[in-house]
Amino acid sequence: MEVLKMLILNHGISYELMDKVERCTKDHYRKCMEQKFTEFASKTLEEGTKIDANDLDWESTFFLRHLPVSNLYEIPDLNDDYRNTMKEFATELEKLAELLLDLLCENLGLEKGYLKKAFCGAKGPTFGTKVSNYPPCPHPELFKGLRAHTDAGGLILLFQDDRVSGLQLLKDGQWVDVPPMRHSIVINIGDQLEVITNGKYKSVVHRVVSQTDGNRMSIASFYNPGSDAVIFPAPTLIEKEEVEQSEVYPKFVFEDYMKLYIRQKFQEKEPRFVAMKAMETITLPAPIATS
């Protein structure tokens, strides 16, 4: 079983484009989001003991959808330069995600294109970006920037701040820092790839620790299955390893998993898999054709 969390520099995305994405993102936060977060932080700190820190994240975010239909021009307060920059960046990230999926196929002994096909529902995969800022927190011992969780989807590509740290992953029961490195992309595996690989790759528990100084930028792009995609372990992997039926991950529609995940995001993932297995009513589809 492998936990995949890797940091890559030779990703093929121009550093000039990444610098522009970072500049535009930080400018947008200062101009359009910082004041609102300051008001939220002030109210939160005033309420003190009334606030449940286990039910709150110290972050400022907005979401962009790229596939199947973009909402880039529907998001208020984004200027044209920022929109065009993010559109170009998303195109490059989509290509990188599909290349990485094929590399995973090669490593797993699956046909090229299998994972991309597995993600395709009626309208293809879903692809979106969470743009986050993690402002300084006066009480990092109380508030996490983002609580510990695994990602629900497929492949996650993270462009993070190169000056302000905070990202940690859980490895062998210990929290390990993921150090910021300029122009790098951090690659993470989500729950759906754990299912498709029948646990050959494990989704990674991670969190963001609040910092007292500096505003951490995080741009996480999620290459996920389509909402109606049927997710199930690759039959080739089951047959090759002669896995007992009791050890096979569940099969389900991605949208059904997401309904459960939304309610249980910050809980352990294993009970979600158990719940999906209990709900199995879908006949296992034939192996996915790749040609």
The predicted structure's pLDDT at residue 1: 39
Question: Residue 118: what pLDDT?
Answer: 96
Query: Can you name the residues that pair with 221 across neighbouring β-strands?
Result: 129, 157
Per-residue pLDDT of the chain (291 residues; tens, 9 = 90+): 344 457 888 899 999 999 999 999 999 999 999 999 999 989 888 876 566 767 889 999 999 999 999 999 999 899 999 999 999 999 999 999 999 999 999 999 999 999 999 999 888 999 999 999 999 999 888 889 999 999 999 999 999 998 898 999 999 999 999 988 999 999 999 999 999 999 999 999 999 999 999 999 999 999 999 999 999 999 999 887 766 666 799 999 999 999 999 999 999 999 999 999 998 755 445 555 554
Q: Identify the residue whose tokens are 């500049």.
A: 23
Cα distance between residue 45 and residue 227, in whole Å = 38
What pLDDT sits at residue 44? 86
Q: And the tokens for 204?
A: 């990674």
Strands 216-224 and 155-160, how do they pair?
antiparallel
Residue pair 72/128 in contact (Cβ under 8 Å)? The answer is no
Element (H, E) at 99: helix 80-108
Give all strands (DSSP E) within the chain, no chain letters: 2-3, 5-8, 60-67, 126-134, 146-149, 155-160, 167-171, 174-177, 185-189, 201-202, 206-208, 216-224, 230-231, 252-253
CA 24, distance to chain mean position in Å, is 21
Residue 40 has, within 13 A of its CA and on its CB side, a CA count of 15
